[in-house]
Amino acid sequence: MKKKQILVVEDERIVAEDIKMRLEKLGYAVPGIAFSGEEAVKKAENMQPDLVLMDIVLEKKMSGIEAASIISSRFNIPIVYLTAYADNKTLERAKITEPFGYIIKPFEDRELHSIIEIALYKHTMERKLKKAQQELIQSEKLAALGRFSSGIAHEIKNPLGVILGGSEFLEMKLSQTDADIKTTIDKIKKSTLRANTIVEGLLKFARPSELKTERIKPNDLVNETLSLLKYRVPLRNIKVETHFAKEELYIEVDKDQMLQVFFNLLMNAIEAMPKGGKITIKTYKMAESEFSLDKYLCVIEIMDTGEGISKDNLRKLFEPFFTTKRDKKGIGLGLFMAKMIANNHKGDLVIDSKQRKGTTAKIILPLS
């Protein structure tokens, strides 16, 4: 297992070096020492250590407590305080930053070891709990949205029917008389159909449709999506390259749904490259985890050289209706649906991106 990384923050060099040595003896890695609060924040951000061992009283402007509160809230890294004297006032202030432990100087190696281990363990558990909570909230939200949308669909679709019927009637009667009227009616019609697309999008996941799975090769699926794509959108100056796995991989999927997923991902890639670029599609197999090297997953990767996604947006990507393309008819259901479909196949969709460099979407599916 990889050694846990610990950042030591201590303004007395000799003490710091001593702690570093003792930590290394206990089997931890100390990638750096920070001698001030400011430096600690910077190093924590760059190194992303597993834990920060922080002297409460630092000489410079920023106290250890201030530095700790920034590090724990901004980077979610657990803090263990080091202090020579534990006066109540300091401890009270330190408590606010919700530290994972205190070590009072002088201390034994054994103490150091157990307090750090407990802190690491507590932090991992907290993270797991938070994740589980979020997933629960997300799934409850979805279920509520599902009930809501299927109930409301009928109510919306009926008036849409009237608007569409009405505008088509006007179109028939008036479009010869005036070009502006024709344009206006055309816009009404288009908007009506767009509203309808949204409602239908909602309905699709309101109703968890049963999977009609078949055993197919991911490479065939990719090729089929690409040939479908050619009919629907001009690729202009976008190059598409495929690197297929040499070995025969099979996946068990609902083909229609998977085509929809790939189609959405490819459309996003194309839309991210208005001035052209390259799409690289790869299929390969990957070990399920570093612990079980005999279990494999199938990965289908779609990489583009487009505008990329900002860090902020990267977090919101899978929320329903999140879109940055509102002015270009974006609905913001593409990735939401794609992820849901992947999850329904006991797989996942992950997206990684660098702004102005490009985006990589990976569909991960169990091999069959």
**Does residue 263 belong to the site contacting ligand ADP (CB under 6 A)?**
no
Q: How far apart are CA 299 and CA 284, in angstroms?
A: 5
Q: CB of 330: closest distance to ligand ADP in angstroms?
A: 3
Nearer to ligand ADP among residue 29 and residue 240 (C-beta): 240
Residue identified by tokens 């750096």 is: 32
Helix 109-174 to helix 13-25 angle (10° resolution) is 90
**In the chain, which residue ranges form alpha helices assigned H by DSSP?**
13-25, 37-47, 64-75, 88-95, 109-174, 179-206, 218-232, 255-271, 311-316, 334-344
Which of residues 150, 213, 223, 360 is near another protein by CB under 8 A?
A: 150
**Does residue 366 belong to the site contacting another protein (CB under 8 A)?**
no
Q: Give yes or no for a contact between 245 and 279, defined as CB atoms under 8 angstroms apart.
A: no
**Does residue 240 belong to the site contacting another protein (CB under 8 A)?**
no
Check the CA dihedral 253-259-263-266 and report its sign. Answer: positive
Question: Would you tell me which residues interact with Mg ion (CB under 5 A)?
Answer: 268, 334
Residue type, 87: D
Q: CB of 271: closest distance to ligand ADP in angstroms?
A: 6
| CA nearest neighbour of 251 among 218, 210, 212, 300 | 218
166 binds, among another protein, ligand ADP, Mg ion, none (CB under 5 to 8 A by kind): another protein
- On the CB side of 58, CA atoms within 13 Å amount to 27
**Does residue 336 belong to the site contacting ligand ADP (CB under 6 A)?**
yes
**Does residue 160 belong to the site contacting another protein (CB under 8 A)?**
yes
Q: Give yes or no for a contact between 72 and 86, defined as CB atoms under 8 angstroms apart.
A: no
207 binds, among ligand ADP, another protein, Mg ion, none (CB under 5 to 8 A by kind): another protein
Which of residues 72, 192, 264, 268 is near another protein by CB under 8 A?
A: 192
Q: How far apart are CA 56 and CA 68, in angstroms?
A: 9
**Does residue 304 belong to the site contacting ligand ADP (CB under 6 A)?**
yes
Annotate 245-299 with DSSP letters as a single string: -SS---EEEEHHHHHHHHHHHHHHHHHT-TT-EEEEEEEEEEES-SS-TT-EEEE
Q: CB of 296: closest distance to another protein in angstroms?
A: 37
Per-residue contact flags (x/-) with ligand ADP for residues 305 to 334, judged by CB under 6 A: -xxxx---x---x----xxxx----xxxxx
**Does residue 165 belong to the site contacting another protein (CB under 8 A)?**
yes
Which of residues 146, 166, 277, 308 is near another protein by CB under 8 A?
A: 166
**Does residue 161 belong to the site contacting another protein (CB under 8 A)?**
yes
CA-based diameter of the chain, in Å? 93
Position of minimal CB gap to ligand ADP = 334
**Does residue 158 belong to the site contacting another protein (CB under 8 A)?**
yes
Q: Residue numbers of the site for another protein (CB under 8 A)?
A: 150, 153-154, 157-158, 160-166, 168-169, 172-173, 192-193, 196, 200, 203, 207
Q: Residue numbers of the site for ligand ADP (CB under 6 A)?
A: 264, 268-269, 272, 304, 306-309, 313, 317, 322-325, 330-336, 359
